[in-house]
Amino acid sequence: MSTETLVQKKRNGYRLDGFSHEEVGDDHLYTGLETPMKPNAFVLSDEDKKEKISALFSEIMDVMGLDLTDDSLKGTPDRVAKMYIEEIFSGLNPANKPKVALFDNKYQYNQMLVEKDITFYSNCEHHFVPIIGKAHVAYISSGKVIGLSKLNRIVQYYAKRPQVQERLTNQIANELKDILQTEDVAVIIDAKHLCVSSRGIKDDTSATVTSYYGGQFNHPSKINELLNYINNK
């Protein structure tokens, strides 16, 4: 069954129990713009979460038959827990959202600003394996500008959570629109999914491209201008 049909069933309130987890995952289904979170997601402190993850990951390693008394393995559960909370999934916690200051566009620069080739590492929410890619971000000032490094930080914040590339693209775009108070925002993401290259179909050559064009970027001339900037090495 196609992704479109699955999504439509979800929107119409149908349950998806008749489909295997593999079918839903491989169809790249996602159910909304917001990352799915429990209402009580932040009741536990980060330290409590790391303690619980370490204990649970120890169980996973034990079930797989690994010897947790080995000097190389006995610290792995703690390392994984710390990595999950403090690094690769730190974007789940709103407390880690980058603080962005706006500045007046004193130079009266009214053309597009493009920050290209922003390298990011995310994780597929269907298999928890890496997504590795580059994001290209552009906007046209409505009177305010932000520091270039903040564009990178916004990309990294939304990438550091279990993700679907389509959602990641839209989350970055919506955040920029909210901050800059303009619809004139564009986001293009070009990424390799290890859930495709290292498992399943094992296609190591394909990449996935997603895009968001808002406001003036919906005009073909602006899209072509943006693509020329991105492709200009």
Q: Identify any residues that bridge with 189 across adjacent strands, giving them in sequence order.
A: 135, 210
Exposure b/e, 124-138, CB count within 10 A at least 16 = b: bbbbeebbebbbbbb
Question: Look-up: residue for tokens 């403090």?
Answer: 86
Residue 141 sits at the vertex; the CA angle it makes with 136 and 144, to the nearest 5 degrees, is 115
Contact by Cβ (8 Å): 158, 189: no
Nearest to 9 by CA among 28, 29, 23, 26: 29
Q: Any idea which residues carry the catalytic annotation?
A: 124-127, 165, 193, 195
